[in-house]
Structure 1
Amino acid sequence: MKSLFTILSLILFSSFINAQNKGFDQKLADSLGADQYGMKSYYLVILKKGKAEITDKSKKSELMKGHMENINKLAKDGKLIVAGPMLEKNPNDYNGIFILDAKTKEEAESLVLTDPSVKSGIFDVEIYKWYGSAALPLYLKSHDKVTKVHF
């Protein structure tokens, strides 16, 4: 009786494991660089108020236009996975975030420096290695389908 219970337990356990992996797609996981947990490393960039005080509205507008163009370019190149502004003032002077698909912190730093608002000093940055879903880049295809107006 005890061995029958053990066999039934093993069958139920293996069925449970197989049910959890039912939708697994090895080819997709490999193409996204996923580890066994479906995750991978990225770089989280926090944009915060920089030291530059640019009072010329035309110059500041030009730099922010370049900032948005750079965001779109990095996204098109597959390097920028997520970007967005903070919607509330905060004690850390954080203005927004990027999540970059970069192999090293040095690569993330060089990607951030392609942004004219960072180069000019409007924004300063903090960069941290971050671990998230390897499927994160897939949302961008859906984002275009829900966006009426592009920056």
Structure 2
Amino acid sequence: MKYLTMIIVVLTTTLILSPKNTFSQYDSTLAKELGADEYGMKMYVFVMLKSGETKIEDDEKRKEVMAGHLLNIQKLVTAKKMVVAGPMGENENNLRGIFIMNVSKVEEAEILLQSDPAISIGALKAEYYPWYGSAALPKYLPYHDKIEKNSVSE
């Protein structure tokens, strides 16, 4: 046990006293490309989707609207305007899903989501919030493509 403790102390001291901080490898080109500020952050719009006023009783119509909803998400991701989308688990608050939009203004997110059929007909209600997060967030998307077996196709 003493040997393990000594190794941990030596490794930690080496990392702390190292002249080059191995945890910080600032890339100004990447930071500029992603729109990062000096903290590596930027503004997004966080969208909470709730159940809307419109209830779709017809199964075929519901499937059609949801297919359009998924295609719209894909279109916005391809256009680099959306970086996160996903449904919520079962909950008491009528929360259905979230989006993180790669835009800095709520008004721009509202305009972009007018093309979502579930939102435009009122089956889903969107609530918009300015959100400050890591500018590197969009960089996870190529990794998702590598682990997704079934994709939504046009």
TM-score bin (small chain): 0.7 to 0.9
Instruction: Give 1:78's aligned residue.
Output: 80
Structure 2 unmatched ranges of 5 or more: 1-16
Cα distance in 2 for partners of 1:93, 1:36 equals 38
| More deviation, 15-24/47-56 | 15-24
Q: TM-score, normalised by structure 2?
A: 0.83
CA contact (8 A) 2:45 2:100 kept: yes
Matching residue of 2:63: 61
What is the percentage of aligned positions where both structures have the same residue? 47
Would you say how many aligned residue pairs link Structure 1 and Structure 2? 136
d(CA) in 1 for partners of 2:120, 2:54: 10
**Residue identity in the other structure for 1:56:** D
Provide TM-score, normalisation by structure 1. 0.85
Give 2:102's aligned residue.
101
Aligned-partner residue type, residue 50 of structure 1: G
Note the C-alpha offset of 1:53.
1.2
RMSD after superposition: 1.6
* Shift, 1:103, TM fit: 3.0
Residues 67 and 19 (structure 1 numbering): CA distance in 2 closer, same or farther, change over 3 Å? Answer: same
Structure 1 equivalent of residue 124 of structure 2: 123
> What amino acid maps onto 2:146 in structure 1?
K
**Superposed displacement of residue 105, structure 1:** 1.1
Q: Which consecutive segments of 4 or more residues in structure 1 shift more than 6 A?
A: none
**AA aligned opposite 1:145:** K
